[in-house]
């Protein structure tokens, strides 16, 4: 963790500078040649991949792309074309992946899958129901994020997963739930080559976490040809892939380039095919450049927000949390950090929600008098000091946002010191250890329901509850609605009550609902937006 003093004017002035440091020169000697090839796609990202195993404790969000590109699941989601002509996943459509078909039992309490007859892992071993069972057993047994994700779909114990025969697999349900089948299509329940994994397991590591951390063992569209941590990952096409049409490129080179300016320069010069996850400022400007396509897709069930950790004494007082919510300069942040891309999440007219839409604006706006009055009602009326943490890999929006919030808090007597945490360490500090008193967060729920968002972000102990928030009524409401069909007459009133509590308690203060933007060469096709917000190269082709 690095403590820094940031000059706001310099940050905003330098955001669009197009300079390439000397340390990037070797990189540039290689990339133009690769980018010129029609069978190679070159991608730059701003974040660091820290593991090749999504099930491993501490694996960060950028690493999820390995599960997407290198592994298959039983099911997947469909694809739809958006108004701007770009592709997006379609949550309303479930389609085959490794399972060529499935049948839900008449009583609705189990589902049986038939696996593709010709599906093989990279080493040529057939994909069997035994591999599926071992993989799902692993997902529910290792603990941490994977187990909780599976729990959201009521997939909680190995006894639910049954091998019928070599190509037939059954899941018995513990309850009827709207989330079970969709949860089989998210990145976590990936199917692993169990024979290879078990050959590299040990008594102390029966699930081969150390081996799979560096050695994927999948049946997916791409194999990992090379991983240089902190620098790059290289995918080679799996020509024996059976879960979809073969990618149109034989190789994908993904380079980690922390500098925003360098990533922008590389796409402008035509040295790379795709700059994945570009800042909002670049979205508008690069869209005007000849030869560059830009997509900006709203992220469902996602909010950029301020997290107030209730383990920090001042934030245990609701009045202090509400005071912070009134001290945030929302409009200036939206203009400066989001460049007005996204949906505003402040300024609601009522403290009671009128519908179940999520996310929706909270009933706060910038009002320093209200903020001071609320703080005066607490024992922290004279203010306090607090470290304010941001993810260095997401500095494009977090840094200007933190600066503006820092200024707002200072006006009510709260002094904050901004701390940058390297992206590779962020997940552990913010989400696993949950030790950051004041921080920015960017959680988006994979399954597009309000109760699913609350399950992850408002329940004690769950990964994205970085605020350590604990409210028995919220837990009860989430338990009651998570598996309930939205047509149930009890669903809407319970969801409205959840949102009302979130309005009042504000352990998370929403700023805006973001978009995911990427810039690419006109030669690249097949870019598709997914809810997990990570690179999916399975449909890539180049002219």
Summarised one tens digit per residue, pLDDT across range 459-485 is 999 999 999 999 999 999 999 999 999
Beta bridge partners of 441: 305
Residue 142 has a CB neighbour count (10 Å cut-off) of 18
Which CATH architecture best describes the domain 304-513?
Answer: Roll (3.10)
pLDDT of residue 8: 47
pLDDT of residue 14: 39
Taking residues 101-115, what's their average pLDDT? 98
Taking residues 352-357, what's their average pLDDT? 95
**275-310 pLDDT tens trace:** 999 999 999 899 999 999 999 999 999 999 999 999
115: tokens are 């696996």
- Phi/psi of residue 352, each to 5°? -115, 130
Of the candidates 354, 342, 260, 340, the residue with the CA atom closest to the CA atom of residue 302: 342
pLDDT band at 424 (very low <50, low <70, confident <90, very high): confident
Q: pTM to 2 decimals?
A: 0.86
Residue 30 has pLDDT above 90, yes or no: no
Distance CA 57, CA 44 (A): 26
Taking residues 143-165, what's their average pLDDT? 96
Percent of the chain at pLDDT above 70? 94
Q: Is 123 exposed, middle or buried (0-12, 13-18, 19+ CB in 10 A)?
A: exposed
The alpha helices in 129-191, defined as continuous H runs, are 129-141, 144-152, 180-183
Residue 232 has pLDDT above 70, yes or no: yes
Beta bridge partners of 387: 417
Beta bridge partners of 96: 75
DSSP character for 97? Answer: S
Q: What is the mean pLDDT of the chain?
A: 93
457 in helix, strand or coil? helix
Q: Return the minimum-mean-pLDDT range out of 26-30, 163-167, 221-225, 324-328.
A: 26-30
Per the listing, tokens 């338990």 go with: 479
pLDDT of residue 84: 87
Residue 198 has pLDDT above 70, yes or no: yes
Residue 191 has pLDDT above 90, yes or no: yes
Residue 108 has a CB neighbour count (10 Å cut-off) of 11
Taking the CA of residue 443 as centre, how many other CA atoms within 13 Å lie in the half-sphere pointing to its CB? 28
Task: Specify the CATH class of 23-68+220-297+523-542 in words.
Answer: alpha beta
Taking residues 188-215, what's their average pLDDT? 98
**440-452 pLDDT tens trace:** 999 999 999 999 9
Element (H, E) at 255: strand 251-256
pLDDT of residue 25: 47
Taking residues 236-244, what's their average pLDDT? 97
Residue 59 has pLDDT above 80, yes or no: yes
Report whether 455 contacts 443 (CB < 8 A).
no
Of the candidates 383, 391, 449, the residue with the CA atom closest to the CA atom of residue 420: 391
523: tokens are 């030669």
Where are the domains positioned within the chain? Answer: 23-68+220-297+523-542, 72-77+92-199, 304-513
pLDDT of residue 94: 97
59 in helix, strand or coil? coil
CATH superfamily of 72-77+92-199: Dipeptide-binding Protein; Domain 1 (3.90.76.10)
Residue 10 has pLDDT above 60, yes or no: no
Percent of the chain at pLDDT above 90? 90
Distance CA 259, CA 241 (A): 35
Whether 304-513 and 72-77+92-199 are alike in CATH topology: the answer is no
44: tokens are 């730059």
**74-104 pLDDT tens trace:** 999 999 999 989 999 999 999 999 999 999 9
């Amino acid at each position: 963790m690095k403590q820094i003093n940031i000059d706001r004017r310099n940050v905003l002035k330098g955001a669009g500078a197009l300079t390439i440091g000397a340390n990037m020169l070797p990189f540039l000697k290689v990339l133009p040649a690769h980018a010129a090839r029609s069978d190679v796609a070159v991608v730059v990202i701003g974040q660091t991949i820290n593991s090749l195993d999504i099930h491993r404790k501490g694996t960060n969000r950028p690493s999820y792309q390995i599960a997407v590109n290198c592994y298959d699941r039983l099911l997947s989601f469909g694809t739809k074309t958006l108004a701007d002509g770009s592709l997006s996943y379609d949550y309303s459509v479930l389609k085959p992946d490794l399972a060529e078909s499935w049948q839900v039992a008449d009583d609705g309490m189990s589902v049986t899958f038939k696996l593709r007859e010709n599906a093989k892992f990279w080493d040529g071993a057939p994909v069997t129901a035994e591999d599926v069972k071992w993989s799902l057993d692993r997902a529910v047994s290792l603990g941490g994020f994977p187990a909780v994700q599976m729990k959201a779909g009521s997939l909680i114990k190995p006894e639910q997963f049954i091998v019928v025969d070599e190509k037939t697999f059954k899941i018995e349900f513990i309850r009827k739930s709207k989330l079970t089948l969709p949860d089989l299509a998210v990145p976590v329940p990936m199917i692993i080559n169990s024979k290879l994994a078990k050959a590299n397991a040990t008594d102390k590591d029966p699930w081969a976490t150390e081996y799979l951390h560096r050695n994927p063992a999948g049946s997916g569209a791409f194999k990992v040809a090379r991983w240089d941590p902190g620098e790059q990952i290289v995918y080679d096409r799996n020509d024996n892939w059976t879960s979809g049409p073969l990618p149109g490129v034989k190789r994908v080179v993904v380079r980690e380039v922390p500098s925003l300016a360098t990533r922008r320069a590389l796409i402008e010069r035509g040295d790379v095919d795709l700059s994945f996850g570009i800042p909002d400022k670049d979205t508008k400007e690069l869209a005007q450049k000849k030869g560059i396509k830009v997509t900006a897709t709203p992220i469902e069930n996602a909010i950029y927000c301020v997290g107030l950790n209730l383990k920090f004494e001042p934030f245990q007082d609701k009045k202090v949390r509400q005071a912070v919510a009134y001290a945030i300069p929302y409009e200036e942040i939206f203009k400066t950090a989001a460049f007005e891309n996204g949906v505003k999440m402040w300024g609601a007219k009522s403290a009671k929600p009128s519908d179940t839409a999520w996310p929706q604006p909270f009933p706060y706006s910038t009002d320093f008098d209200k903020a001071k009055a609320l703080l005066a009602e607490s024992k922290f009326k004279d203010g306090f000091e607090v470290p304010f943490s941001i993810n260095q890999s997401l500095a494009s929006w977090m840094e200007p946002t933190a600066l503006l919030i820092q200024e707002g808090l200072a006006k009510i007597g709260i002094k904050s010191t901004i701390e940058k945490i390297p992206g590779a360490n962020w997940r552990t500090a913010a989400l696993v250890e949950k030790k950051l008193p004041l921080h920015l967060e960017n959680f988006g729920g994979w399954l597009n329901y309000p109760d699913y968002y609350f399950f992850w972000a408002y329940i004690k102990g769950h990964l994205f509850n970085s605020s350590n928030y604990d409210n028995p009524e919220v837990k009860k409401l989430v338990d009651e609605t998570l598996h309930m069909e939205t047509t149930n007459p009890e669903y809407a009133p319970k969801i409205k009550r959840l949102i009302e509590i979130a309005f009042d308690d504000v352990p998370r203060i929403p700023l805006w609902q973001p978009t995911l933007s990427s810039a690419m060469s006109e030669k690249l096709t097949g870019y598709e937006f997914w809810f997990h917000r990570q690179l999916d190269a399975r449909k890539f082709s180049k002219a």
